[in-house]
Chains A and B, each alone.
Chain A
Amino acid sequence: MINRLIWSVIIFSALIALCLLPQDKPELTPHQRFTKITNTGQALLPWQGPWACVLDSQNGLLWEVKTDNESVHDGYWTYSWFDGQKGKSNFGDCYFEPQRCDTADLIRHTNQQNLCGQSNWRLPSATELISLVQAPSSPSQPYIATDYFVHIKRGDYWSSEHDIPLPTKYRAKGLGATAINFHFGKSYTLPYRNAAFVMLVADIPTANTHPQLSRRATIKQHKQE
């Protein structure tokens, strides 16, 4: 009987100890492709913020992240397609230019800012942009990873592809540029004068001089978690 008493005390104690063990919290799952990057170029964990750029390990690119703070990067601003020579200047809407806006304006301002430690910002190619398309996780969300790419509208985003003949209904406007529409996740050729949204990219060299933006460093950090 003493043995049974001791055993029952042990079992009760074990149950109590099991209950008092610290219980697991939800676990962080690193994204296989994207990493949040701060304005100073520091890599963040998936639940950290705020972030100004997203590192795309698949394409070796850094993407500009849009905001809602009425800065140069506000997601509501629109731009006409213009590279300084071709296209249509100042046909989009923004607050940061005395006149209206075009894609060259955003590129110039972003490079001047040295956003995320980069000064080689450019328009993405259509292939790069369409590689971001993915089915939305909830109704009326854009076709993109909204947990990394915030303030993305369900509208057209300019790519660098240009000098493309327009479809019949716009034929009178001559040539245009390719835009990716994140409402449908498809690409369209639009007249340069169209006001569309823009998300810039910067190329990340494999051996990045910016220590915190090295892809290798980011991957290592994820493995340590």
Chain B
Amino acid sequence: MDRQTFITFHILAIIVVIGSIITGLRIALISQDWMSPISILLPQGQMHVWHLGFGIVLSLIIACYLFYSFTSPFRSVQSKYHKFINYLGYISLPLVSASGWLIWADLYADVSRTIHQFAMWAMCVYLVFHAWIYIIQNGRRVFSILIPKRATLRHLSFVFGLGALSLSGLLLLKSTTHQLNVLTIDDATFIEIDGKADEVAWQNARPISVMTIGGANFNQGATEVTVKALANKYESYFLISWQDETKSTNHLPLLKTAQGWKVQENGFYNFDERTFYEDKFAVMLSDGCEIAGDKTLHLGDNPINNKPKNWHGKGYHASLDGKTRDLWHWKAVRTNDMYLADDNFIGPPAPHLSGKRRYTAGYQADGKESGAYVMNWQWYTPKNVIPKRLPNNLDIYQQHRDSVLPWFGSSPYRESDDSYPLGTFLSSVLYRSNRFEGDRADVRARGEWKDGQWMLELVRKHNTQSKYDVALQTGTCMWVSAFDHAQIAHTRHIKAIKLRYAL
């Protein structure tokens, strides 16, 4: 390899490595709060496709460099220090690339993610001790070494070739998917939505397992999710199981203190509760299959133009292309006893309402005719709250402290009735009725926790005709996320699960 070819490689590598680091750090910030101070230095928006693109170019550069190193290596005069520090680059760059591809392929994603992060930090250290020391030693002369002096046709064609190859690779890879075969059952086969999955049909369905990563409270932030699917002429059934060592139903309980009732929380004020929250599970459906949620994930504290900042700095879900993505949100306390998943959707960013502190961009609930759960406080403040209602019979209620408080088993709060001793707990969830009615109630669901595992059964019509739902058919793509007593810090996976029906 001649000097000019090396310089061409080198300048491309600098751009790509910096691009990979800043997009990767933005992605890592979703689950690593300690890095939040550097958020101000990082780009915002849809990062995964950019990160994959940089990853492809970096891998191609590594491959080219290895090829040249074996065929016609570039010889340069370097100090012992730089020769030594280069070994850090020789180790970290291939490692970050290989572990990145393993995460993309959902292979050992939990371990690969840890390796990817260690390799990334090693790469940062390499950059500092390699580049910074050169700058200290040589000053402006570094630029004369870095910038190609004679761009020949060979070098230009090399750069454009690499660019074209990377772009083709990105277009090819960004929509690759797993596949879930949906087993056909006849219309007479009865599947009870009870979270037990004891029907024979489930045993015949072929499962797919995806390692989901980056969630709060799970062991290493990861849990493996297994999905099976059945379909008759009218409906699709899903059986989803995931590991979760604890069943969490202690959802923002109200505690009686000397200062009044207080919501037990650790992050709820910023809409990122991770301690006193119920377990949840989310399924997203889309006609498109692009990696990392089909363009609905916008990272950063203010990733959407002309929309408000978010409180937690993580990002928003929204469809900037105007298409609707379906979102089923099962909640262990709020919807499980309704035998429903909350039928939500991700659409274009909603208008900002000045009177509401929380803005959720495109993440919204489908419409409902009636029925709902409401929170059992008149107005939330982190200091204290006044409950909306008190149970008619606290003794019975205390035995089921983690459950919801029924509207008709309770009475409006009156100070004169509030004679509960300090240390009394109250449920934060009130059922106005025992289920939603309307579009929001399209997904029936029931989860059961046993021996460190949640098992969730879901069923929905193939096509509800709602403009806020996505039809279930061959080619529909699905993403799954588990929440371990966390409000928003869910696990995730890169590649979609594409449904394939035999019907």
A residues 1-44 with Cβ under 8 Å of B? 1, 4-5, 8, 15, 18-21, 23-31, 34, 36
CB of A46 closer than 8 Å to a CB of B: yes
Beta-carbon contact of B359 and A139 below 8 Å: no
Beta-carbon contact of A140 and B439 below 8 Å: yes
Contacts of A27 in B (CB 8 A): 308-309
| Known A24-B309, A138-B364, A139-B439; contact A5-B136, beta-carbon cutoff 8 A | yes
Beta-carbon contact of A46 and B41 below 8 Å: no
Distance of A139 Cα from B367 Cα, bound (Å): 5
Contacts of B378 in A (CB 8 A): 50, 69
Beta-carbon contact of A29 and B354 below 8 Å: yes
A87 to chain B, nearest CB (A): 28
B104 to chain A, nearest CB (A): 29
Distance of A34 Cα from B356 Cα, bound (Å): 13
Q: Interface segment, B259-267, B345-353, B415-423, B489-497? A: B345-353
Beta-carbon contact of B355 and A19 below 8 Å: no
Beta-carbon contact of B365 and A139 below 8 Å: yes
Interface of B is mostly: loop
Beta-carbon contact of B388 and A69 below 8 Å: yes
A73 to chain B, nearest CB (A): 12
Q: Interface segment, A122-130, A142-150, A197-205? A: A142-150
Contacts of B350 in A (CB 8 A): 137-138
Beta-carbon contact of A18 and B40 below 8 Å: yes
CB of A49 closer than 8 Å to a CB of B: yes
Most A CB contacts (10 A, CB to CB) among B39, B357, B364 go to B357
Contacts of B364 in A (CB 8 A): 138-139
CB of A97 closer than 8 Å to a CB of B: no
CB of B412 closer than 8 Å to a CB of A: yes
B46 to chain A, nearest CB (A): 21
A residues 140-198 with Cβ under 8 Å of B? 140-141, 145-148
Beta-carbon contact of B374 and A140 below 8 Å: no
Distance of A213 Cα from B51 Cα, bound (Å): 54
Beta-carbon contact of B355 and A25 below 8 Å: no
CB < 8 Å neighbour of A26 from B39, B137, B310, B368: B310
CB of B38 closer than 8 Å to a CB of A: yes
| Known A46-B354, A68-B374, A137-B351; contact A18-B359, beta-carbon cutoff 8 A | no
CB < 8 Å neighbour of B135 from A8, A29, A139: A8
Distance of A30 Cα from B364 Cα, bound (Å): 23
Q: When each residue 436-471 of chain B gets 1 if its CB lies under 8 Å from chain A and 0 otherwise, what string results? A: 001110000000000000000000000000001000
Residues of chain B having any CB pair with chain A under 8 Å? 36-41, 132, 135-137, 139, 301, 308-311, 313, 350-357, 359, 364-369, 374, 378-379, 388, 412-413, 438-440, 468
**Closest 5 A/B residue pairs (Cβ):** A140-B367, A147-B355, A139-B367, A147-B353, A19-B37
